[in-house]
Structure 1
Amino acid sequence: MNHVGSVGMRRTARLTLVSLVLIGAGFGMTACQSDKDIDITKLGMETDPPEVLYNQGLANLKAGNMAEAGRKFDSIDKQNPFTEWGRKALVMSTFTKYRLGRNEDAISTGNRYMSQYPQSQDSAYVQYLIGLAYSKQIADVTQDQKAATRTIDAMTKVVKDYPNSEYVEDAQAKIRFARDQLAGKEMQIGRYYLERKEYLAAVRRFRNVVEQYPNTNQVEEALARLTEAYYAMGIVEEAQTAAAVLGRNYPDSQWYADSYKLLHSGGVEPRENRGSWISRAAGKLVGA
C-alpha cells in the first residue's frame, strides 16, 4: 500500500470516529431536549398518584373496560407495594384478573395478597376469589380433577377461617359441586372396570364414592353398581346389603328398581347385613 493510501485510510478512520462521537452527542442532546414530550404512559408507566390511579381503575370497571382497569391497579401494586393503596389495588387486581378469565394470574395475585394481609378486612373476599378462580378451571369428569380438589381446599378456608363472611354460603355450594365432580370421576373409572369385568377394581372405586363422598348425587348409582359387581362375583350377601341400603335411602330411585330386579332374577331380595361396611357407611348418606 502506498503512503498516500495509508494517510487516506487514517484520515477516514479519524473522521468516522469523530462522526460517531458527534452523532452520539447529538442524540444525547436531542433526547434530553425532547424528554418532556415523551408520553411515558405509552411505555407502560403511570405518573398519577395512587389514589388517582385507583379511582381511574374503578371508573374503567364501571365502564366495562376490564383490561384497562387491571392495568391501573397493577401500576399501583408495582409502584406502591406494602402501602394501603397498594393493598387495595392488589384486591382489585385479583378481581379483574378473575373477571378476565386469567384464572392462574388471579390465583397467583390472590395468594400473594393472602401471604401479605391474611387478617385484613378484604382477606375473606380474596380467599373467595381464589376459590372461584379454581372452580372456573374444573373440567369434565373425563379429565383431570385437580382443580376440583383445589377448589375444595380454597373454599374450605373461606368457611373455616371466615365463618361469618357473606361468602360462606356460596363457598359451601362450590365445595359440594367440586366433591360431586370428584365422585363423578370415581364413578367413571369404576364403570370402566365394571365393563371390563374387573370387579374388585370396580368395587374399590364405588366404595370410595359411598365412603368419601356420601353427600353427593353419585351415591345412588354407586350403591346400584356395588350390587351389580358383588352379585357378579357371587358375593350375594354384600349385593343384598348394597341394594337394601339403596332402597332404604332412595326408595323411589330407578337405580333401586334396577337393583331389586337384578337380585329378584336370582331368587333373592335386598337384605341388610349390619356387619357390612356398606351398612356402617349408610349413616352418612345424603338420604339417611
Structure 2
Amino acid sequence: MRFVKVSAALVLATLLSACSWWGGDKLAPDVPEQQLYEEALSAMDDDNYALAVEKLQLLEARYPFGQYSEQAQLELIYAYFKTYEPESASAAADRFVRLHPNHANIDYAYYMKGLTAFEQDRSFLTRYLPLDETQRDPGAARDSFDSFATLVSRYPESEYAPDAQKRMQYLKNRLATHEIHVAAYYMKRQAWVAAANRGRYVVENFQETPAVPDALAVMGEAYTELGMTELANNAYKVLELNFPDYEVRSFKEPRSTLLNTATFGLLGEAETPAVPARPTGSSGASKAKAAETDEAKEERSWFDRITFGIFD
C-alpha cells in the first residue's frame, strides 16, 4: 500500500513538472525598470536592435507608467525602424503621438514616421540597381510627405525640420514624375480627359518641379485631341514662355499594322506619333524638331529593313 502511495506521488510530481521538462512557458524573473532600460540602450549601442526591441517591449509591458516608459516608446520606434519593420515603427509613432500629444519630443515621432515611410519601399534592388522609383506605387511616398509636412508646419524650429524639408523636395519631384507616367499611360490609351487632368494636377500642385514642362506638353496634346484649341494653345504658350528650350514630344504610343508587328518592323508601315502643335517660332529647338520630323517621314528601303538598318 505504501508503495502505491509513493508511486502516485511520483507520477503527480512528474505531471506537474512536465511543462518545464518539455520547454513550456517560463515566467521571466522580475527585472528593475532601470536595468531593463539600460539593457535596451546597451543592445542598441551594440547594433543588436532585435534584442533592444525585446527589452523595450518587456519594459512597456511591466512598467507602463514608469519613469522610462515614454522614452522607451520613442526608442522603440527607432528600434523597429532599424530592424526593418516599417509597419511596427509607424504604428509605434502613431501610438506615441496619440498618447503624448504635448510631449517635448513629439517632433521626433513625426520625423521617424516620415522617415519610415520614406525608406519603406526602397528594397534591396532599388538601392543598388538603377530602377525608376517614380513608376512604382507612390503610397508610401505620399505618407512620408504628409508626415514631414506635418512636422515642418507644426514644429518649424525643430532640429529635424531642415532634413524633412530636403526629403519633401525629393518626394515632391518623385510624386510629380509619377503623375506624368500615369498621364502618358492615359495618352497611350487615348483617355484624353484623364491625361489632361493629370497634367493640370501637376501644374497646380507640383510647381517648381522638373515635371511641369512635361505636364504642360501633355495638356496641350490632350486638349488638341479633344478639339479644345484655345486650351491647347494656352498650354503651349505657357510652356514656350517658361521653358523655351523644352523639346516637345508626343506622349501617344505609335501604332503599327498587324503585318508590321508580326514581322518585327520588316514589312508593313508603322505610324509615327503625331507631334503636338505649338506656337510657331524661329527658335533653334523648333527647327531641330522640324528636321527630326521630316527625317522620320522618309521611306525606309527594303535593304534597310532586312538588315535592321545596320548597313544603311
Q: TM-score range by the shorter chain?
A: 0.7 to 0.9
Unaligned runs of 5+ in 1: 1-10, 271-288
- Matched with 1:171 is 164
Output the CA distance in 2 between the equivalents of 1:213 and 1:26.
72
- Matched with 2:112 is 129
Output the CA distance in 2 between the equivalents of 1:221 and 1:167.
33
Output the CA distance in 2 between the equivalents of 1:46 and 1:202.
64
Q: Is 2:132 the partner of 1:153?
A: no
Instruction: Tell me if the contact between 1:114 and 1:123 (Cα under 8 Å) persists in the aligned partners.
Output: yes
Q: Deviations over 1:20-50 (max 9, x none)?
A: 564224555x69xx9xxxx99x958463322
Q: Is 2:246 the partner of 1:263?
A: no
Output the CA distance in 2 between the equivalents of 1:168 and 1:189.
31
Greater mean deviation of Cα atoms: 245-254 or 66-75:
245-254
Output the CA distance in 1 between the equivalents of 2:27 and 2:119.
30
Normalising by structure 1, we get a TM-score of 0.72
Q: Is 2:36 the partner of 1:48?
A: no
Q: What is the RMSD computed on CA atoms of the aligned residues?
A: 3.3
Alignment of 1:223-234 (within 5 A): 223-234=216-227
Cα drift, residue 118 of structure 1: 1.7
Q: Is 2:236 the partner of 1:211?
A: no
Output the CA distance in 1 between the equivalents of 2:62 and 2:91.
18
Return the match for 2:12 from 16, 20, 24.
Answer: 24
- Matched with 2:95 is 112
Name the one with the larger helix percent: 1
Unaligned runs of 5+ in 2: 123-132, 252-274, 283-312
Output the CA distance in 2 between the equivalents of 1:119 and 1:195.
51
Q: Deviations over 1:83-142 (max 9, x none)?
A: 221111111111010111101000111111111112112211111101111122247444
Instruction: Tell me if the contact between 2:151 and 2:161 (Cα under 8 Å) persists in the aligned partners.
Output: yes
Q: Is 2:86 the partner of 1:93?
A: no
The 3 A distance-change label for structure 1 pair 254 and 225 is: same
The 3 A distance-change label for structure 1 pair 91 and 210 is: same
Output the CA distance in 2 between the equivalents of 1:77 and 1:222.
50
- Matched with 1:5 is none
Identity %: 28
Normalising by structure 2, we get a TM-score of 0.67
Which amino acid in structure 2 is aligned with residue 84 of structure 1? Answer: Q
The 3 A distance-change label for structure 1 pair 217 and 170 is: same
Instruction: Tell me if the contact between 1:240 and 1:269 (Cα under 8 Å) persists in the aligned partners.
Output: no
Output the CA distance in 1 between the equivalents of 2:235 and 2:105.
47
The number of residues matched between the two structures is 243
Which amino acid in structure 1 is aligned with residue 144 of structure 2? Answer: T
- Rg: which structure is higher? 1
Cα drift, residue 269 of structure 1: 5.3
